Structure 1
Amino acid sequence: MFAFQSPQPVQLPSPAPPPPPPFRKHLKCTAARGSCRPPLCSLTSNPTISTSAAADDKNRVIQRLCERGELKRALRVLSQETDPNQRTYELLILSCARQNSLSDGLSVHRHLLENGFDQDPFLATKLINMYSELDAIENAREVFDKTRQRTIYVWNALFRALALAGHGHEVIDLYRRMNWVGIPSDRFTYNYVLKACVVSECGLSLLKKGREIHAHILRHGYGGHVHIMTTLVDMYARFGCVKWAGIVFDEMPEKNVVSWSAMIACYAKNGMPFEALELFREMNLETNDLLPNSVTMVSVLQACAALAALEQGRLIHGYVLRRGLDSILPVISALVTMYARCGKLDRAQQVFDKMDERDVVSWNSLISGYGVHGFGEKAIQVFNEMIISGIPPSPISFVSVLGACSHAGLVEEGKMLFDSMVREHRIFPSVEHYACMVDLLGRANRLDEAAKIIEEMRIEPGPKVWGSLLGSCRIHRNVELAERASARLFELEPMNAGNYVLLADIYAEAQMWDEVRKVKKLLEARRLQKVPGRCWIEVKRKIYSFASVDELNPQIEQLHALLLNLSMEMKEDGYVPQTKIVHYDLDLEGKERILLGHSEKLAVAFGLINSAKGETIRITKNLRLCEDCHSVTKFISKYTKREILVRDVNRFHHFKDGVCSCRDYW
């Protein structure tokens, strides 16, 4: 385990004692009364009034210099004998934050302490905000701790600083303290505390706290506040509580573009892309006065990418161009991702090439696009081009390029990239990076090496790591390692039905039927259900959904008839249905009937019937493509002379002339 120490605050010296008043020697006046010139100390030339006027002049000078962005000159004036007021310190603090100068900020803070403003709550708020902007969170805490007159604004400033720095749990603890001392929350408090729940690591304790805050909001009459309720939608979305997010959204008396965007993003990020597009359509129909912004468009493009809805994505691209949103980096990066995940890599590359400016997210979009299509060498090439262009890779860059190596079987290249993370880029591997390496080695049937990586990890292996190992054990039928991986997964994710189903599949492959029955009993005892297979296909700009053994589709008889005819032709050409993957106690005919009812086969048949001859069929699946569907789709692409693109949960499969781009390596 890596041990990290929190940075220590920069120590401020204690304020110096005020200097003694200057010694003034008063000269005795020897002239006759009334005939002499008034002395300097007389009321007609009061030194207090002169000093005050000079101080006012210097304050105005400092303030004007700050407003013009001349911080260094303002600090030189400050270093002279001045008497700054609250407004002067406020502008100096703001200038230090704008110019990103921690050293100048410390200097202003020191001067402020020396002049007795250390208990000014207004300036304490400004100082906390400044230190937050300058990533000096320890100094922000120190200001808060030393301020005795804590108004709600001082509390809110620290809540904001801690939430921005990702210290969500500390915000929750402080919020509890604030309630205990009896300071009432305002709308800013609720926003910052809810955001603290969002930025922290997901956990049931934080979700419970978020729901408690939701109750506080309603009790104190903030249920109609659009900004607070929108933040609530974000919070529930972060925890995957789509139902609760939807309830909050539906009950909002007023919605703005941010509210709509938050709910669309909630659907897009929680595996409900179809609902995201439906809500976007509803937004356009119901809110003529609200125009979608760049955040909205990013979520909508993510939904199109998830569904491989190319025609929908093209329409959205046109809308982006008409609205002039094509200069916004997150939107263009989302366009690159959308085209890549809809199977149009050439178009994704074109959009990328036309970008005037690129950030690491843009490069990651392209790297990931080549990776999911199985073009590992091209993904590595783009990764190297990014580094040459001067953009340092992010942790996500390595997740993308290591994933690309895994899909392409580039083991040695992947190991070199993994080793370069710390050595060349000072990025310490996270659970996601280790999971990529386990997947890379496991797919290549180097399971012993994969297991060794897990044993030598310096951080605790999470479900992703053990899940990668279990998936590889299924591919290579390694029962012993599968049992070890599943045992850890059952501890870490006791309610994830997918792990039990995967182990049952491995036992079934090994003809260990008693063990299969034991796993099924575990599923029943814990009341868990397998996630049903589902596919989506876009035909004539409409998206259709299919579930396995779907009897509700109006064309179901036509689809079954087509698949049955194709099956008979394929059998004559050597196709053998892989009935071993059906774990029901049925005869051979019954098992074949279940195989023909798989959602991807129904989607392919629907595409053949309802799309134009020669048109490419694009399908998205929520699970891994099964071996039988993979084999059948290869045959269909050959018989029908159609190109068929299927994107499963792992990667793209391009079927053409009876061959798949994955080369049966998935």
Structure 2
Amino acid sequence: MFLSHPPQVIQPTCYTVNFLPRCAPKPPLCSVALNNPSIAASAGAKISNNQLIQSLCKEGKLKQALRVLSQESSPSQQTYELLILCCGHHSSFSDARRVHRHILDNGFDQDPFLATKLIGMYSDLGSVDYARKVFDKTHKRTIYVWNALFRALTLAGHGEEVLGLYWKMNRIGVESDRFTYTYVLKACVASECTANCLTKGKEIHAHLTRRGYNSHVYIMTTLLDMYARFGCVDYASYVFNGMPVKNVVSWSAMIACYAKNGKAFEALRTFREMMTETKDASPNSVTMVSVLQACASLAALEQGRLIHGYILRRGLDSILPVISALVTMYGRCGKLEVGQRVFDRMDDRDVVSWNSLISSYGVHGYGRKAIQIFEEMLANGATPTPVTFVSVLGACSHEGLVEEGKRLFESMWSDHGIKPQVEHYACMVDLLGRANRLDEAAKMVQDMRTEPGPKVWGSLLGSCRIHGNVGLAERASKRLFALEPKNAGNYVLLADIYAEAQMWDEVKRVKKLLEHRGLQKLPGRCWMEVRKKMYSFVSVDEFNPLMEQIHAFLVKLAEDMKEKGYIPQTKGVLYELETEEKERIVLGHSEKLALAFGLINTSKGEPIRITKNLRLCEDCHLFTKFISKFMEKEILVRDVNRFHRFKNGVCSCGDYW
């Protein structure tokens, strides 16, 4: 046998024959010096107190470093920097104050570099007041000092203050840099900001454009995100399309903007562009969460399955937000069992994962199952959040579990220390109202410790619509008109209530009010997926070439269903018309158009899935029940409130929606 390489020569190990113990490794000089002052003195040429403090800080030994600091009369800037960083790392406010006092005593109070570090330290320690004091006492205010305060105030949610200081900084002639624009744009959407901050954000947009920062990808992505958070989708899209360079963060921000602002079609289209037009911007977990949200919004099951496969191939299936979004997506696409399997396979679960599962069962109307999962969550040691209670109370509402809902609502504060918010009161008003306990619902609104917002009054008005309570509806709508003068849906809901009560003069009055205020009813719109393609339907769609065929098919279906006992429900038509004309109007509802298209284009045994942007009307609900029975078709309709699963002439909601 021949060796391709020369054999390795192994040197014999040399052993010293003695019985002395092996020497331990020498400790760092800083430790020797700290524990032996005499050695420290003799080693003065080798290590100074400044070096000793810096070494101790790097080792994380803050207390020892502070002891040495008390013996040093002239610490250097670098020594103070490392002490400040070490205080922040140890989250020690008392030690931070001690270091700060030392800095002041040694004349470094006007050092802008250390001022920047001090502001950052106090921000990280949660003391924005001390950060302000450092800033106010620093006269040499470089842009770095301003930026440090902007960061501290933005993280603390004081956006209005940041914007005020920004204009002051501009007046005194301090030039902004890329970090400045990033912080002030983030400040526009800080917790305390109002709609006025959008105007300020637009002015900042103009500033950075004039100064040539509109090609900076990070700044422009932050600007895009600001517009997205204010719901200004067109502005966000303008910024995105004008970016010369896009990275994964900017693509993800644009997809999230569409997904969170009711533009799910656009979110999926942008994702496809990202996949086909870019090579360097591979989607990450943040991207996938937004794409899954878009699939969930449209009930695009096949699209969601493709995304799931991509997630598995990329190894993103171990990231909790992605898996939680998958659970939600399958639940909102009508595949509860698949969502449950995804949840069961999770190695780790956080409260968001539990919330996703509870919400999925709730939107399907399985209130008792949602409560069971909530109790399992508590047994597994997860701490519920306000979102958890919104989900489980909403689930109780869909199944009419009044007593269970009241018990859970009372347990929020008593058992979990969560103060009920407006969203929780809205859930309770909806729960009581749907169960025709309108007096209790009205009393709950009256007894609220916080000001009832549009969600609460909207829940009460919706309950009045279900049970035809005109008096209470007028009271609720009066408050809603004051709170949301531009929300056409409230006017339409009141007009519906008047129409069902045959109060046509009042219907006309509300319609005139709509016209006077220049408001238009939100048109009914439906979506459905057929053979991995998404289709959209609106009640009035003269430009769709398929409409003639669909309408003809619908007329024939309606005639057949009438022979089998279907009687059109036309009480909600807001016009005094002949019965035949009213029937023609309800036959043109978007969900019926989608249903007819699904019947034409799906095979036998294949379920039809439809998503609607409004509440399912009584006539469409009844019509779909008849179709499911006599066409032997399973039909799933998700409206703005919940899922309806139609099969053999029965709906899963039990006619309770």
Matches within 5 A, 1:25-424: 57-81=48-72, 83-200=74-191, 203-424=194-415
Task: Name the % identity.
Answer: 73
Alignment check: 8 A CA contact 1:308 1:619 kept: yes
The alpha carbon displacement at 1:52 in A equals 12
Partner of 1:654: 645
Once residues 260 and 97 of structure 1 are traced to their aligned partners in structure 2, the CA distance between those partners, rounded to angstroms, is: 34
Partner of 1:610: 601
Once residues 561 and 72 of structure 1 are traced to their aligned partners in structure 2, the CA distance between those partners, rounded to angstroms, is: 84
Deviates more, 1:423-432 or 1:310-319: 423-432
Once residues 434 and 55 of structure 1 are traced to their aligned partners in structure 2, the CA distance between those partners, rounded to angstroms, is: 70
Name the TM-score, length of structure 1 as normaliser.
0.89
Once residues 498 and 301 of structure 2 are traced to their aligned partners in structure 1, the CA distance between those partners, rounded to angstroms, is: 39
The alpha carbon displacement at 1:552 in A equals 2.9
Judged with a 3 Å threshold, the aligned counterparts in structure 2 of structure 1 residues 517 and 250 are, in CA distance, closer, same or farther, namely same
Matches within 5 A, 1:248-647: 248-647=239-638
Partner of 1:28: none
Alignment check: 8 A CA contact 1:55 1:83 kept: no
Once residues 78 and 358 of structure 1 are traced to their aligned partners in structure 2, the CA distance between those partners, rounded to angstroms, is: 46
What stretches of structure 2 of length at least 5 have no aligned partner?
1-40
Deviates more, 1:389-398 or 1:134-143: 134-143
2:476 counterpart letter in structure 1: A
Deviates more, 1:492-501 or 1:54-63: 54-63
Alignment check: 8 A CA contact 1:371 1:403 kept: yes
Q: What's the CA shift string for 1:355-397, capped at 9, x where partnerless?
A: 2222221111111111111111111222222222222111111
Alignment check: 8 A CA contact 2:158 2:192 kept: no
The alpha carbon displacement at 1:171 in A equals 1.3
The alpha carbon displacement at 1:133 in A equals 2.1
SS at the partner of 1:605?
helix
The alpha carbon displacement at 1:215 in A equals 1.3
The alpha carbon displacement at 1:82 in A equals 6.0
Once residues 299 and 408 of structure 1 are traced to their aligned partners in structure 2, the CA distance between those partners, rounded to angstroms, is: 30
Once residues 564 and 192 of structure 2 are traced to their aligned partners in structure 1, the CA distance between those partners, rounded to angstroms, is: 54
SS at the partner of 2:529?
strand
Once residues 607 and 214 of structure 1 are traced to their aligned partners in structure 2, the CA distance between those partners, rounded to angstroms, is: 46
The alpha carbon displacement at 1:513 in A equals 0.5
Judged with a 3 Å threshold, the aligned counterparts in structure 2 of structure 1 residues 381 and 147 are, in CA distance, closer, same or farther, namely farther
Q: What's the CA shift string for 1:5-39, capped at 9, x where partnerless?
A: xxxxxxxxxxxxxxxxxxxxxxxxxxxxxxxxxxx
Once residues 78 and 84 of structure 1 are traced to their aligned partners in structure 2, the CA distance between those partners, rounded to angstroms, is: 8
Alignment check: 8 A CA contact 1:280 1:300 kept: yes
Partner of 2:34: none
Once residues 193 and 111 of structure 1 are traced to their aligned partners in structure 2, the CA distance between those partners, rounded to angstroms, is: 32
Question: Would you identify which runs of 4 or more consecutive aligned residues in structure 1 move more than 6 Å?
Answer: none
Once residues 114 and 55 of structure 1 are traced to their aligned partners in structure 2, the CA distance between those partners, rounded to angstroms, is: 27
SS at the partner of 2:188?
helix
The alpha carbon displacement at 1:272 in A equals 0.7
Once residues 106 and 603 of structure 1 are traced to their aligned partners in structure 2, the CA distance between those partners, rounded to angstroms, is: 67
Once residues 429 and 461 of structure 2 are traced to their aligned partners in structure 1, the CA distance between those partners, rounded to angstroms, is: 10
Judged with a 3 Å threshold, the aligned counterparts in structure 2 of structure 1 residues 76 and 344 are, in CA distance, closer, same or farther, namely farther
The alpha carbon displacement at 1:54 in A equals 6.9
The alpha carbon displacement at 1:56 in A equals 5.6
SS at the partner of 1:619?
strand
Alignment check: 8 A CA contact 2:157 2:192 kept: no
Q: What's the CA shift string for 1:163-190, capped at 9, x where partnerless?
A: 1222211211222222232222211111
The alpha carbon displacement at 1:81 in A equals 4.2
The alpha carbon displacement at 1:279 in A equals 1.0
Q: What's the CA shift string for 1:300-332, capped at 9, x where partnerless?
A: 000000000011011111111111111222111
The alpha carbon displacement at 1:629 in A equals 0.6
1:407 counterpart letter in structure 2: H
1:315 counterpart letter in structure 2: L
Once residues 427 and 544 of structure 2 are traced to their aligned partners in structure 1, the CA distance between those partners, rounded to angstroms, is: 39
Once residues 298 and 575 of structure 2 are traced to their aligned partners in structure 1, the CA distance between those partners, rounded to angstroms, is: 30
Name the TM-score, length of structure 2 as normaliser.
0.90
Q: What's the CA shift string for 1:63-91, capped at 9, x where partnerless?
A: 23333334444344434446432222222
SS at the partner of 2:571?
helix
Deviates more, 1:138-147 or 1:103-112: 103-112
Aligned-pair RMSD on alpha carbons? 2.0
Once residues 65 and 535 of structure 1 are traced to their aligned partners in structure 2, the CA distance between those partners, rounded to angstroms, is: 66
SS at the partner of 2:645?
strand
Q: What's the CA shift string for 1:119-158, capped at 9, x where partnerless?
A: 2221221222222222222232232233232221111111
Q: What's the CA shift string for 1:465-500, capped at 9, x where partnerless?
A: 111111111111111111111111111111111111
SS at the partner of 1:549?
coil
Once residues 57 and 644 of structure 1 are traced to their aligned partners in structure 2, the CA distance between those partners, rounded to angstroms, is: 80
Once residues 186 and 55 of structure 1 are traced to their aligned partners in structure 2, the CA distance between those partners, rounded to angstroms, is: 42
Once residues 128 and 45 of structure 2 are traced to their aligned partners in structure 1, the CA distance between those partners, rounded to angstroms, is: 37
1:246 counterpart letter in structure 2: S
Judged with a 3 Å threshold, the aligned counterparts in structure 2 of structure 1 residues 178 and 53 are, in CA distance, closer, same or farther, namely farther
Once residues 243 and 61 of structure 1 are traced to their aligned partners in structure 2, the CA distance between those partners, rounded to angstroms, is: 58
The alpha carbon displacement at 1:101 in A equals 3.5
1:335 counterpart letter in structure 2: L
Q: What's the CA shift string for 1:591-633, capped at 9, x where partnerless?
A: 2122111111111111121122111211111111111111111
Once residues 361 and 63 of structure 2 are traced to their aligned partners in structure 1, the CA distance between those partners, rounded to angstroms, is: 49
